[in-house]
Amino acid sequence: MINKENLTQHISQQFNVELEEVRSHLLAMGGLVEKQVNDAVTALIDADSGLAQQVREIDDQINQMERNIDEECVRILARRQPAASDLRLIISISKSVIDLERIGDEATKIAKRAILLCEEGEAPRGYVEVRHIGDQ
pLDDT score at 107: 96
Q: By C-alpha distance, which of 22, 21, 40, 17 is closest to 95? A: 22
Q: Give the angle 80-81-82 at the CA atoms, nearest 5°.
A: 90
To 10 degrees, what angle do helices 4-46 and 84-120 make?
Answer: 20
Q: Give the angle 26-29-31 at the CA atoms, nearest 5°.
A: 110
Q: For residue range 83-113, what is the model confidence (pLDDT) as tens digits?
A: 888 899 999 999 999 999 999 999 999 999 9
The H helix count followed by the E strand count for the chain is 4, 0
Architecture field, domain 4-135: Up-down Bundle (1.20)
Task: Quote the CA–CA distance of 131 and 136 in Å, as a whole number.
Answer: 9
pLDDT score at 9: 47
Task: Quote the CA–CA distance of 13 and 84 in Å, as a whole number.
Answer: 17
Question: Domain spans of the chain?
Answer: 4-135
pLDDT tens, position by position, for the chain (136 residues)? 444 454 344 467 888 899 999 999 999 999 999 999 999 999 998 889 999 999 999 999 999 999 999 999 999 999 888 888 889 999 999 999 999 999 999 999 999 999 998 888 776 666 666 666 666 6
